[in-house]
Structure 1
């Protein structure tokens, strides 16, 4: 395949240049002859489906992996990194999707960790000097966080800016620094995204940025140019100001974007019953939700939206028994449920897909088959706990049904892309018999367009089979397109409920008015 030609008329001196970079894991070629250029003082977007090769490319730049072929130039000099510390020493800073700060340390200690330098004298840490250096690093990203604050007490957005400060405040190098932002907006609220956009724009004066995201509108807004990866190859390069989301979708997935992933055409009318699958009455919990009441009918998808601290996450977790209910009742199929624990909820036919799949949703180091069998091991093994052959066949069935890649039940789930991990996480919950209520806590956060399509199709199939679904939507588009109704929460209370039928859904403005 011919390499995409550089945008017409573009002349630039490169800060970073990748020439024919290739990476293989066993027989699988993950990166195939990749060419990418980043100019000084430029923001370059990098997009692609889960499994397209983005994570591997970032790990090569960060010194985690070495390429099997090709050349990497940084500041005009050939480089090959032996470790993350080596990459950092060359001026490459990385802010990962999963934050890496230590919560029990202060902001200043996190910023100086491993780079104490002249902050140590005679074996003792000079705290005043450390705080002064930390304050200088934070000022670069216009953060006013006190370096003495324990990191666990910061908001996600504040921690993220500390990560950025650490990444851009590394060793001084001859060339400009390169900052890599991996899914930086995936859990940010709109106001925090605005702050990040201003910070990234300001950082362009000091160096260059590679911006990786599945949110194409933000990629186009943040970036000067965008590279598109598919199946380990660069299949497109576009100037952001001249590109469209539809064009990028088509490049990413190899087909047109006419089939809108949030389309509500598959929504079927929900039959109202005197006995709903889920009935929540007057529920209060965790000091975050007060007197919350709603029903979900069989086959109905109820989307719940709200800003941070709206209480929606706490209500979902309380229904599943993960946190206690201080008052109110929860009924499943008309019977009062007392979910004192998630195990009790599972026995009542309730399943819960958590928002943080890596921490709460999966067993890293275990295989795909072992993860799929984790909640219902006897069912997965065909009624025989020790039947590994049946367990493997069960896993293969779900791997085929959900298009999990690679299609290997023995693969370590931690080596899969985020979208494929999430499919396995969902499979383990819907494997058992008697599923009545499926709670989805940000089920598509950080996933690409293809993975979202696969999961939406699954959720709609379950809805058609009569399963009630409660989804804490990641975006308003998702809430409107997926839900039969949209419930809005603010400050722990329900502020609005909107029907979202085919052809006449609520507008995003209507929802925002009730959220803010």
Structure 2
């Protein structure tokens, strides 16, 4: 397959929906964009691919007015524009569904959907709730969502909030008379299969009257729903390909400059020993508000996946094992000792680590440095007696930056400036710096990561298992759960209903699990 590098030519040509010409953006120690070119044609779905840190997020933020480029031009429907804010971009018909979500949690779904474009929903400064609900319902109906428009946003699941995000950006149809440009940044990262197919149906509908920029690290999704794919690497445009006849390996080759390995789950790294006869984690009849009578065992050096459809209770089980979700009954022991689940402090003190699904909300403090985020839960590791020793902290942090290949200008760089994959590696390192972790709870640890960053996380998980860490995994996909787990627990309607063995060479298929999940 031959890749075609994008060339912007002078002379008469069809007016494109959106053009980026030579965009440049610098941050301290980082050149995020280095002369990026991009063309989005009318009535097409353009995929945007690249590894974490390739410049995708910076480019998208520039297109919706959140980042002002240092050089270069943005053209919308043949007109050169300056996009100084999200409102400015919306006025030009550009809207975006953000990967990390941009909803106001204490407002209703309806308020979020019409925020900034309430129209008839407000009269003399007072909400007309019947009208607000109707306006929001119109958008929710487009994507087949059954969310109550008057439900508070913070009461919704992550997946439901993502559907609200999508409904919100579709309001741009009413805001502009021009064909809109809709940017979808990792819209499927927390959606189930049925919801993904609903979204793809909506994306194909959008193509009839709009242009779409679709970003996903799931390369098979990009090839499924897009007409063309433009690839970034190291802040530069490296080419574009039509999706017809293309394979994920073709895109991966362009993203990293070489062919990716099919063995990205690193099964060969697992070296399980018969020595630990007794399970490390034992859960007996644990019940909570969304799950009941859950039994679970995880041995030292074992990775146990938990799968289930949205609402099965698996996320709450994971949080309960960290003391972040209350339990009503049951007993949990770690290496034969009762585990205190009254709060997260007791779990951490017992050697339990937790990587949450919502990395930027629960897993890190954006304005703080890489070093401070890495040391948040292991303060004693940087102290001698009661005193913090800066040199000791610096040495420890630098060791983990090197070991995990964390791409950061400096340990003092704000973690919020790093790519998603590097942020995730810092969150993982937080539980490893003191070397006393016994149980690691991973809730969608590869969410939003490109194939290269996911592969690095998989390798680290295998290394931790080989060192004796017991791991509970809530995977990003059934394929990931199957590829990484030694055993899989299926949850259905709040109960653990089936245990499936996953030996090397005898793995179940996704269909085998789906039959048990529904």
Q: Name the TM-score class by shorter chain.
A: over 0.9
- The Cα shift of 1:369 comes to 0.4
| Equivalent residue, structure 1, for 2:5 | 4
- The Cα shift of 1:166 comes to 2.7
> Is the counterpart of residue 271 in structure 1 residue 274 in structure 2?
yes
| Equivalent residue, structure 2, for 1:282 | 285
Residues 6 and 237, structure 1, Cα contact 8 Å, conserved in 2: no
Cα deviation code 1:34-68 (max 9, x no counterpart): 11111111111111111010000001001011222
Distance 1:294 1:167, change over 3 A: closer
| Equivalent residue, structure 2, for 1:444 | 446
Distance 1:382 1:226, change over 3 A: farther
Residues 43 and 209, structure 1, Cα contact 8 Å, conserved in 2: yes
Distance 1:397 1:243, change over 3 A: same
Cα deviation code 1:442-463 (max 9, x no counterpart): 1111111111121111111111
| Paired residue secondary structure (2:90) | helix
Residues 103 and 152, structure 1, Cα contact 8 Å, conserved in 2: yes
| 1:159-308 correspondence to structure 2 within 5 Å | 159-170=161-172, 172-173=175-176, 175-271=178-274, 273-286=276-289, 288-308=290-310
> Is the counterpart of residue 96 in structure 1 residue 98 in structure 2?
yes
| 1:62-461 correspondence to structure 2 within 5 Å | 62-117=64-119, 119-138=121-140, 141=143, 147-170=149-172, 172-173=175-176, 175-271=178-274, 273-286=276-289, 288-381=290-383, 385-461=387-463
- The Cα shift of 1:85 comes to 1.5
| Paired residue secondary structure (2:271) | coil
| Paired residue secondary structure (1:188) | coil
Distance 1:130 1:360, change over 3 A: closer
| Paired residue secondary structure (1:439) | strand
- The Cα shift of 1:79 comes to 1.0
Residues 94 and 179, structure 1, Cα contact 8 Å, conserved in 2: yes
Measure the CA separation in 2 of the matches of 1:206 and 1:292.
49
Measure the CA separation in 2 of the matches of 1:147 and 1:470.
35
Unaligned runs of 5+ in 2: none
Residues 269 and 463, structure 2, Cα contact 8 Å, conserved in 1: no
| Paired residue secondary structure (2:387) | coil
Residues 270 and 298, structure 1, Cα contact 8 Å, conserved in 2: no
Measure the CA separation in 2 of the matches of 1:482 and 1:228.
28
- The Cα shift of 1:5 comes to 4.1
Measure the CA separation in 2 of the matches of 1:316 and 1:347.
17
Cα deviation code 1:279-331 (max 9, x no counterpart): 11222222x22222222111111111111122222222222222233222111
TM-score by length of 2: 0.92
Distance 1:168 1:387, change over 3 A: same
Measure the CA separation in 2 of the matches of 1:411 and 1:302.
35
Measure the CA separation in 1 of the matches of 2:148 and 2:493.
27
| Paired residue secondary structure (2:388) | coil
Moved more, 375-384 or 338-347: 375-384
Measure the CA separation in 2 of the matches of 1:142 and 1:364.
34
- The Cα shift of 1:409 comes to 0.5
* RMSD (CA atoms): 2.3
Residues 21 and 33, structure 1, Cα contact 8 Å, conserved in 2: yes
Measure the CA separation in 1 of the matches of 2:332 and 2:463.
25
TM-score by length of 1: 0.93
- The Cα shift of 1:488 comes to 1.5
- The Cα shift of 1:425 comes to 0.6
Residues 382 and 388, structure 2, Cα contact 8 Å, conserved in 1: no
Measure the CA separation in 1 of the matches of 2:288 and 2:225.
39
Residues 377 and 385, structure 1, Cα contact 8 Å, conserved in 2: no
- The Cα shift of 1:206 comes to 2.1
Unaligned runs of 5+ in 1: none
Cα deviation code 1:145-178 (max 9, x no counterpart): 5544444455545443433333232364453100
- The Cα shift of 1:471 comes to 1.1
| Paired residue secondary structure (2:213) | strand
